[in-house]
Amino acid sequence: MNIITVVVIAVGLAMDAFAVSVAAGAAQKQLKVQHALRMAFFFGAFQSIMPLLGWLAGLSFKDAIEPFDHWVAFGLLVVIGGKMIYESFKLKDSQDGSTVDPARISVVLILAVATSIDALAVGFTLSLVTEHVAVAVIVIGIITFALSYLGCWLGGKVGHLFENKIEAIGGVILIAIGIKILVQHLLF
């Protein structure tokens, strides 16, 4: 797997974390650098760990699914991407009266797990297309860290203007990668 594909996958996966970071930055009256760094660190770490776990699980099943692995990779990426697009269009009711402090460590942990579940399935997909996952895991973590930090900062500046659109773009990117994997396998 080439580095450009890895970077594109990383950006696609990071869109959930970026969107949540924008919302978290907008929710804080006065964003502190330490809160943005904490969120970026946890999001980056979980986005790195989950694909690694998915990749390890996928290696166990690789021999059994190798004849149709391109279809599995395509299906998983389309489902994940479709879910991201669907969720980007759902109404998000932030006027429910509850207040959640996105700077609290318990909230950051929950958000980090929630935004990295898709990365587990992508890790499974990576086990079907590459035996070398270290670079992918590192790149995914770094890009997620950077975009999450940027998201917190932007959220503090511009609020929720782009939150849903960013998540939809991430979904489209993952679907495009799934299509690329399928076409490459069927044509070459």
Q: What is the DSSP string of 43-86?
A: HHHHHHHHHHHHHHHHHHHHHHHGGGHHHHHHHHHHHHHHHHHH
Does some domain include residue 61? yes
**pLDDT value at residue 53:** 93
Per the listing, tokens 């699914």 go with 65
Does some domain include residue 94? no
Question: Is the C-alpha dihedral spanning 100, 105, 111, 113 positive or negative?
Answer: negative
- Please give the model's pTM, rounded to 2 decimal places: 0.72
Q: How far apart are CA 112 and CA 83, in angstroms?
A: 17
Average pLDDT of 148-171?
A: 76
**What pLDDT band is residue 63 in, cutting at 50, 70 and 90?**
confident
Higher-pLDDT residue of 131 and 147 is 147
From 144, 150, 149, select the one nearest 9 (Cα to Cα): 144
Three-state SS for 28? coil
Q: Count up the domains in the chain and report the number.
A: 1
Does some domain include residue 159? yes
Look at 54-63, 66-75, 153-162 and tell me which has the smallest mean pLDDT: 153-162
Does some domain include residue 97? no
Judged on CB neighbours under 10 Å (0-12, 13-18, 19+), 33 is exposed
Q: Structural domain of residue 156, as residue ranges?
A: 3-89+102-187
pLDDT at 76 over 50: yes
Distances (CA, A) of 186 to 61, 79, 168, 179, 181: 21, 20, 27, 11, 9
pLDDT at 38 over 70: yes
pLDDT at 129 over 50: yes
Q: Would you state the torsion angle of the CA atoms of residues 87, 99, 155, 142, taken in this order, to the nearest 10 degrees?
A: -70
